[in-house]
Structure 1
Amino acid sequence: MTEYEVCAILPVYNDRDALETAIPRSIEVLEGVTDSFLLAVAEDGSTDGSAEFVREWETKDSRVRLFHADERLGRGTALTRVIRAVDAEIVCYYDVDLATDMAHLPALIQAVRDGSDVATGSRLMPESDIVRTQGREVASQGYNLLVRTVLKSRLYDHQCGFKAFRRDRILPLLDTIEAPHWFWDTELLVRAQRKGFRITEIPVRWRTSDKTTVKFSDVYGMGTAIFHLRRHLND
């Protein structure tokens, strides 16, 4: 029997201020979902006091746990590390800025309870409600079109930081993922489809954050990663 029904993961890199809202809000929502949960903070080599802030929470709430890295591993590697370490039936993660409305978290988890191997939020389904700049919208639409065309994905949105998994199903897949950072989300969803996983895509309400750690070099790298993954999938 697993220790927790749900482990929710917050990937964090120099997000001390965002944690002040994200931790108590996460606990509030998770308490409405299950009595058996862990809030894990995948802190990825931060230098702004993020780790120390989470340690303070650990002392007052045993349901909060810090996973600290002395050096930056990359967002995907940090998530993989926590998923492998925790003993939970369902694992989920979402961005620490809570850009995706947390009101969707119960539905995301319920989709996995109902039999999906993966549930993922989508900012690009017709029913989605998003606010962001025109430039970011064009870039997102173009990226996801490229993923669907080149990698034959059936999904609308591959990069929304709002996903849940059946841990026992996702563990073997993690061994095949090469991307250590932002492309990790896309590679996981593409490989899951190739393996015949049952995936549920959920339209979400999403608001852009003033702070983003995605740089132009990351965007360029994800574009080249699409073609790199296609070559490997066809090997």
Structure 2
Amino acid sequence: MINFDSVTVVIPVYNDVQALKDAVPKVIPILSSLTSQYELIIAEDASTDGSAECAAYYARNNPNIIHLHRNERLGRGSALTLAASKARGEIFCYFDVDMATDISHLEELLKHIREGFDIATGSRLLPESRIIRSTGREIKSRGYNFLVRLFLRSTLSDHQCGFKAFSISSIRMLLKETTDTHWFWDTEILVRAQKKGLKIAEIPVVWTEGQGTTVRSSDIWKMGRAILRLWWQLYVS
């Protein structure tokens, strides 16, 4: 067993019951092989499809699993913020419930934090990465990340890959200023971290687009406005 520091892993969930049933049995053995000091938080955001009952079942039957349930949907970013406030691990890590990023990268992600990085994040856009997704989603992703680099002066290639780890002190410091509560949360965290001079490792990953995942036009417009809002906050006001 690798002697990692205590680790908190968070899986944000909203109406993802089948993905949750698939993910937890895969994640627990891997975590157990990496450290004896871990907790898995299922941050479940007012699901109505049975995800809440599934998460509660896992929590009842494994003392290392914690179910954070909310009666009102407040957003993915908000769920992650709540989980960070409850986390007991020295390393805070999260990934999407569809496990689009190959879970074999988890050890590398955690190692970067132990070696002194404040943040480690997966990237689907590094030359060494191997990804499978639709052409339309690829174009949207590259366009979005280009705008983040252009307006928010980021040096990272991919801001929205749902596969990140932080030292607990770093994430809690950043969350004092982070305002987004949904999808832009990932980008805002990384941009604010760079503005503060935190040490960030970006690692190539194997990533496969999950079934049924979509990027809606309304989401694109919202995130475009979020880029401009954060630009105004950081560089104008």
SS in structure 2 opposite 1:88?
Answer: coil
Structure 2 Cα separation of the partners of residues 190 and 216 of structure 1:
23
Q: Distance in 2 between matches of 1:53 and 1:213?
A: 24
Q: Residue type of the partner of 1:221?
A: K
Letter in 2 for 1:78: A
Superposed, which structure 2 residues align to 1:75-154 within 5 Å?
75-154=76-155
Partner in structure 1 of residue 28 of structure 2: 27
For residues 153 and 128 of structure 1, the distance between their equivalents in structure 2, rounded to whole angstroms, comes to: 19
The separation in 2 between residues aligned to 1:34 and 1:161, in whole angstroms, is 22
What do residues 181-233 of structure 1 show as CA deviations (whole Å, max 9, x unaligned)?
00000000000000000000000000001122643211210011101100000
Q: TM-score, normalised by structure 1?
A: 0.97
RMSD (Å) for aligned C-alpha atoms: 1.0
The 3-state SS of whatever aligns with 2:6 is strand
- Which of 207-216 and 41-50 deviates more? 207-216
Within a 5 Å distance, the mapping from 1:1-235 to structure 2 comes to 5-212=6-213, 214-234=215-235, 235=237
CA contact (8 A) 2:137 2:215 kept: no
User: Deviations 1:65-115 (Å, cap 9, x if unpaired)?
Assistant: 100010101000000001011211001000000000000001001100110
Identity %: 50
Of 194-203 and 20-29, the range deviating more from structure 2: 20-29
Stretch of structure 1 that moved more, 8-17 or 50-59: 50-59
One-letter code of the match for 1:31?
A: S
Please state whether the residue corresponding to 1:68 is helix, strand or coil.
Answer: strand
CA distance in 2 between partners of 1:200 and 1:136 (Å): 24
One-letter amino acid of the structure 2 residue matched with residue 99 of structure 1 = A
On the 8 A contact 2:123/2:204 being kept in 1, the answer is: yes
SS at structure 2 position matched to 1:8: strand
The one-letter amino acid paired with 1:153 is S
Q: Post-superposition shift, 1:145? A: 0.5
Q: For structure 2, list consecutive stretches of 5 or more residues without a partner in the other structure.
A: none
Aligned mates of 2:136, 2:216 — CA distance in 1: 14
Distance 1:61 1:153 in 2: 40
TM-score normalized by the length of structure 2:
0.96
